[in-house]
Structure 1
Amino acid sequence: MNSTVKFTNKDRSQFFSTVRKRVDAYFVDNNISANANGAMWRKAIFFLLGYSLLYGLIISNQFGVWTMLGMALLLGSFAAFIGFNVSHDAMHGAFSSQSWVNRWLGNSFYLLGASPYVWKITHNVVHHTYTNIPGHDEDIDVAPGLIRLDPAEESHPWQRYQQFYAFPLYGLASLSWVLRKDYVKIFKEKIGQHDNSTHAKREYITLFATKLAYYVLFLVVPMLVLDLAWWQVLVGFVAMHLIEGLILGLVFQLAHVVEGTSFPVPGDNGTIEEAWAIHQMRTTANFAPRSAIAAFFCGGLNRQIEHHLFPKVCHIHYPAITSIVKRTAEEHGLPYLENATFFSALQSHYRILKQLGTAPVASSLLKNLVHHPVVEEPTLN
């Protein structure tokens, strides 16, 4: 496999230049910033305060074991929602025009037990550039050998059942992140095919120091102050991360591994023969675009098309620019993939898991994934 992927706009498409000009004009004509507005700040404060309150209530040792378990599950949910609604925008530089504000809010990612520095590499650089490209985008390499999300990957007999066991495994994603993933990633020479061999010494120190602080706050402190056995604290810790991992895993998978999304394989010279923005349109899908609930909790990640095209635009504005993106895509004959609801997207992901688990012929499967229709419905803005 060629280590360098290049996008070539062989058809000289004007799609991205046109949609970017129109989106820029929307903000100028309406005299509004592409960064966070009041509603966005209120939402961020809600999730951050809710997370802090839940942690404080648990540590207060004023509740029974089952109540604390319920609060631990809710705490894991709030951690995921902070990731979607605060950390994600900030680490893309979309929350504020001030870099120090983005850096400060991006540090909220530590509340998930994860490293914002490593995330910026794996997500901002690798995933957003090489979306759904086998061997490059490690987001489709969830559990190698167990879950097959890459049509070019060798299939195994047990994967015919992956549509059933994949969802519980998604729940382990957060635990893996806290205990393993960041350590592995920072010491890898390459992430996908991205050179990852050089990091400043302070990044290693920060990673280990913040991980230690997280373990102290969420394992050591509860064991010291709560009237619980050590194993009960561990159960609560694991439960918190299972719900957090399931929420994180599902939202990201429903955006890229559903019917209609493609998994393009570069040519021998490492070339993807279409513009980067067109590649994003073919590998990304929205879900529940008309749901205010999905928009509130998912931090705009239910509109991944807009996010992938305009990652530096705060997600609070995605509903407003959706019609611009969709109209421009239609004018240029490009797909605009949507699932009308969260559950229809979930069903689509289930079918893809089943298809990937039982179809060993990569070329045939790749063709089907590219051309299989996805439910499309108009969005309300």
Structure 2
Amino acid sequence: MATLNSCTEPPTSNHATNLVPLDKLKEACTSKRAWVSVDGVIYDLTAFIPQHPGGQDFILFAAGKDVTKIFECYHGHRQHQILQKYKIGVLSGQDMPSFLPSDDFYSTLKKRVDDHFGSLRIDRKHSLASYVRYFFTVVCIWSLYWLQWSLPSNSLWMFYLLSIVHGALLAQYCVSAVHDGSHGAIGHNPALWKLLVIGHDFFNGCSGTLWTYQHVMSHHIYPNVDGFDADIETSEVEFRRIKESQKYFPFYRLQSIYSPFLYVLLGSAVRIEDLIHYFQRRRGPFKVNPFTPFQKVIFWGGKLFFFLTRIALPVFWGAPILRVISAFLLADFFFSIVLAVIFQATHVVDTAVFPRVNPTTGNIEVDWARLQVETAQDYSHDQPLTSFLSGSLNYQVVHHLFPAIAQEHLPGVARIVRQTAKEFGVKYEIKDSLWSAIGGHIGLLRMLGTPPSSH
């Protein structure tokens, strides 16, 4: 990998008219050759990797891909000017859909949000409350772990109560620390972001690297777009039907009843899928770039650490194996159901749009910012307890439009988004409570559980 001292001069613009085949772009996906496409122009960022203020990881995730919308979300005009120094050609070919050019809705919204933070003179990434929350969540996770396995053998009710609380705390770590770290939405230190995401590997046994591909690279750019949003990726036969493109089976009639109970298996399913995606080197529609040596250590070390702490160590300390397994399952069930409720109630709902790719053009015939608003729903605005428990993901629309803003500031930005959406005729769905939002998810399951012939 290049270093600051050995960094070569960026490519000059006289190569800007070169046509770069799509296959060549895809091959440039390592630290030795990292190319990206933005608005159909290819940039060689290999020499820029060690200089990137956001750290090397984000460039290595993006390498070999079209990152137009990701770049727009996280960068402004100044960064776009810097990018031009690394231009090497024009992309020939396309394997990901593009969107209609942004209209005045998005530009107006971004200016108003910039003015909002400018007038308050605050850093949109700064949140002391978030730092405190991360610290106490980690302290509580480990304290409860040691307390649980130190209890007398006859304190069963307290033992299993601690399992439930432990699972809920692990979910809290995900919706706050892991989520914020994956977006670089807290502070300006890439080492902190990496540390927060690594917690997903060691606390939950789930790959933070693969989560970033799924969440940041796929879902945030193509929410609810069949074939491109990894969150709604399905196989030929699934336990539930969440989009019209899925084949219908008669057992879906009852999916609104049985599906919520199966959500307790989310954690286990993700850990198994991690192994599949790791070896297949794909996450949803995206190619997973070669893991760096550090990422490999974290991936396998996290799996091993998770097994040792959740299963092996308690058995070594003399706890009965059935008690260990039951405690693990109870904690994991609550961990899974909390995350499932929070995430399913924002996008997989009956009020959200599920855009289609135009089969002729291969593109999505809507503005990207409008898509972010209309494919999600918010809930429980101005209810601090719900915002705290959900990591402010009840402001889902706001977060999708501005993923690099710390969760503490999302409620203030929501007022701006609401007013601007109203002015431009963009449908912005806000439910009054979490229960109403969950009802939207159940409503979708009921609708798509109905035989297609009876619509």
Query: What is the TM-score normalised by the length of structure 2?
Result: 0.75
CA contact (8 A) 2:198 2:298 kept: no
What is the aligned partner in structure 2 of residue 14 from structure 1?
Answer: 104
Deviations 1:57-84 (A, max 9, x none): 1122446233111101110000000101
Shift of 1:35: 1.4
Give the unaligned 5+ runs of structure 2.
Answer: 1-93
- Tell me the secondary structure at the aligned position of residue 378 of structure 2: strand
Kindly report the root-mean-square deviation, in angstroms, between the aligned alpha carbons of the 2 structures: 1.9
User: How far apart in 2 are the matches of 1:136 and 1:339?
Assistant: 27
What is the aligned partner in structure 2 of residue 261 from structure 1?
Answer: 352
User: How far apart in 1 are the matches of 2:291 and 2:255?
Assistant: 37
Q: Return the match for 2:118 from 10, 28, 37.
A: 28
User: How far apart in 2 are the matches of 1:359 and 1:24?
Assistant: 48
- Tell me the secondary structure at the aligned position of residue 427 of structure 2: coil
Shift of 1:286: 0.6
Q: Return the match for 1:57 from 147, 168, 189.
A: 147
- Tell me the secondary structure at the aligned position of residue 152 of structure 1: coil
Which deviates the most, 180-189 or 336-345? 180-189
Residue 439 of structure 2 aligns with an amino acid whose one-letter code is Q
**Does residue 152 in structure 1 map to residue 242 in structure 2?**
no
Shift of 1:276: 1.2
Shift of 1:42: 2.1
Shift of 1:225: 1.5
Deviations 1:119-150 (A, max 9, x none): 11111101111110112212123685211112
User: How far apart in 2 are the matches of 1:188 and 1:289?
Assistant: 41
Deviations 1:129-173 (A, max 9, x none): 111011221212368521111221111100110001110111100
What is the aligned partner in structure 1 of residue 263 from structure 2?
Answer: 170
Residue 56 of structure 1 aligns with an amino acid whose one-letter code is W
Shift of 1:116: 1.0
Residue 79 of structure 1 aligns with an amino acid whose one-letter code is L
User: How far apart in 2 are the matches of 1:354 and 1:3?
Assistant: 34
Give the unaligned 5+ runs of structure 1.
Answer: 366-381
User: How far apart in 1 are the matches of 2:254 and 2:233?
Assistant: 17
What is the aligned partner in structure 2 of residue 78 from structure 1?
Answer: 169
What is the aligned partner in structure 2 of residue 317 from structure 1?
Answer: 409
User: How far apart in 2 are the matches of 1:191 and 1:41?
Assistant: 30
**Does residue 135 in structure 1 map to residue 227 in structure 2?**
yes
Deviations 1:21-61 (A, max 9, x none): 11111111111111132222222223222212111211224
User: How far apart in 2 are the matches of 1:132 and 1:305?
Assistant: 13
User: How far apart in 1 are the matches of 2:234 and 2:206?
Assistant: 17
Shift of 1:189: 4.1
Residue 208 of structure 1 aligns with an amino acid whose one-letter code is W
User: How far apart in 2 are the matches of 1:5 and 1:318?
Assistant: 29
User: How far apart in 2 are the matches of 1:58 and 1:253?
Assistant: 31
Residue 135 of structure 2 aligns with an amino acid whose one-letter code is I
CA contact (8 A) 2:226 2:356 kept: yes
CA contact (8 A) 1:95 1:314 kept: yes
User: How far apart in 2 are the matches of 1:270 and 1:359?
Assistant: 29
User: How far apart in 1 are the matches of 2:411 and 2:108?
Assistant: 19
Pair 1:49–1:36, CA change in 2 (3 A): farther
What is the aligned partner in structure 2 of residue 303 from structure 1?
Answer: 395
- Tell me the secondary structure at the aligned position of residue 262 of structure 1: coil
Within-5 A mapping of 1:59-208: 59-62=149-152, 64-110=155-201, 111-141=203-233, 144-178=237-271, 180-196=272-288, 198-208=290-300
User: How far apart in 2 are the matches of 1:83 and 1:52?
Assistant: 15
Shift of 1:195: 2.0
User: How far apart in 2 are the matches of 1:186 and 1:8?
Assistant: 33
Shift of 1:176: 1.7
User: How far apart in 2 are the matches of 1:262 and 1:194?
Assistant: 22
Pair 1:131–1:170, CA change in 2 (3 A): same
User: How far apart in 1 are the matches of 2:190 and 2:292?
Assistant: 20
RCO higher in structure (CA 8 A, sep ≥6): 1
Residue 386 of structure 2 aligns with an amino acid whose one-letter code is A
- Tell me the secondary structure at the aligned position of residue 430 of structure 2: strand
Residue 286 of structure 1 aligns with an amino acid whose one-letter code is D
Shift of 1:190: 3.2
Deviations 1:90-140 (A, max 9, x none): 111001111112222222223122111111111110111111011221212
CA contact (8 A) 1:175 1:238 kept: no
Q: Return the match for 2:311 from 195, 219, 223.
A: 219
User: How far apart in 2 are the matches of 1:116 and 1:236?
Assistant: 24
Shift of 1:3: 4.2
- Tell me the secondary structure at the aligned position of residue 159 of structure 1: helix
Residue 28 of structure 1 aligns with an amino acid whose one-letter code is G
Residue correspondences, number: 358
Q: Name the structure with the higher strand share.
A: 2
User: How far apart in 1 are the matches of 2:289 and 2:247?
Assistant: 28
CA contact (8 A) 1:188 1:197 kept: no
What is the aligned partner in structure 2 of residue 290 from structure 1?
Answer: 382
Q: Which has the larger radius of gyration?
A: 2
User: How far apart in 1 are the matches of 2:97 and 2:212?
Assistant: 19
**Does residue 358 in structure 1 map to residue 450 in structure 2?**
yes
Shift of 1:198: 3.3
What is the aligned partner in structure 2 of residue 369 from structure 1?
Answer: none
User: How far apart in 1 are the matches of 2:288 and 2:362?
Assistant: 19
CA contact (8 A) 1:218 1:237 kept: yes
- Tell me the secondary structure at the aligned position of residue 255 of structure 1: helix
CA contact (8 A) 1:187 1:197 kept: no
Residue 150 of structure 1 aligns with an amino acid whose one-letter code is K
Pair 1:359–1:20, CA change in 2 (3 A): farther
Pair 1:37–1:206, CA change in 2 (3 A): closer
